[in-house]
Amino acid sequence: MITTDFLPGSPCWVEVSSPDVDASAAFYRRVFGWEAIPAGGPEAAGYLSLKLAGDIVAGLCPTVGESERPGWTVFFHDPDVDGTAVAVERLGGTVLIEPFDVLHLGRTAQFFDPQGARFAVWHPAAFPGVQRADAPGSLCWVELWTPDGPGSVDFYGELFRWSYSDFDLPGESGHYRVVTPAGAGRDRDQGGVMALLPEQVDDAEGSAAWNPVFMVADADTAVGGVRAGGGQVYMGPEDTPGVGRVAACADPFGAGFILLAPPRE
């Protein structure tokens, strides 16, 4: 469960990049009911805050240059951004964006892990992170799809001191490890590491990727919004025992995310 009481190494922010922020804002408004609000003046460089009922749930930013692929980036709470940048390189990852201060809001950096998944860290100052989580229309989980499960588990276990638990998936769906922040109990499980099968690796172009999981009240209705808005549905919606009704999707520009409707009580 993701909460707004952020622990070190826990997801605290997500943002999506887009070559057309107005089109992306319209898409996510259709799917989740989010309202796009300018995050500041000219210094914000076109960055938009995505809000639901007044709470900030995500960010939307323009892509930089033609080489940047649109996508979602997961940020993890980090008390030592600069130290993490050193550790990422020591562990075989790559520093994509060196540590820097975001106005008065906080300090951040972005990386690739050794398997190619992009992620970021955030040390808050004036802005802690998402203001709503684990509720319909907000972030409830994060999931890493990776061609090298043991390598990914070792990297993040060393970097963030996460602990892991096995979770049995139905059928032949790959190996899944549930992520718990350092020193926390199972009530703070926050995500999973999915070791892809060889045929799934081919479909994923051989690279790892972090996927934000957004809770919805009705997965089928949300999937209808994805399709109507010009997005793609790659899997589902389908029921997963003990998890809920799940669909893997992408927005019109290819930024991937997952929808989850928890089991009805």
Domain range for 65 is: 11-124
Q: Is residue 70 part of a domain?
A: yes
Has residue 214 got a pLDDT over 50?
yes
Checking if the pLDDT of 256 tops 60, the result is: yes
DSSP of the chain: ---SSPPTTSEEEEEEEES-HHHHHHHHHHHH--EEEE-SSGGGTT-EEEEETTEEEEEEEE--STTPPP-EEEEEE-S-HHHHHHHHHHTT-EEEEEEEEETTTEEEEEEE-TTS-EEEEEEESS--S-S-BSSTTSEEEEEEEES-HHHHHHHHHHHH--EEEEEPPSSS--EEEEEE-TT--GGG--EEEEE--HHHHHHTTT--EEEEEEE-S-HHHHHHHHHHTT-EEEEEEEEETTTEEEEEEE-TT--EEEEEEPPP-
74 part of a folded domain: yes
Residues 196-222 have a mean pLDDT of 80
Pick the range with the lowest mean pLDDT from 144-148, 163-167, 195-199.
Answer: 195-199
| Residue 202 within any structural domain of the chain | no
Q: What is the pLDDT of residue 40?
A: 72
Q: pLDDT, tens digit, for every residue of 45-71?
A: 789 999 999 999 999 999 987 778 999
- Report the number of distinct structural domains present in the chain: 1
**Within a domain: 26:** yes
Q: Does residue 3 belong to any structural domain of this protein?
A: no
Domain-located, residue 218: no
42 inside domain: yes
Q: What is the pLDDT of residue 39?
A: 80
Looking up residue 69, the CATH number of its domain turns out to be: 3.10.180.10
pLDDT tens-digit readout, 108-126: 999 999 999 999 999 999 9
Q: Is residue 113 in some structural domain?
A: yes
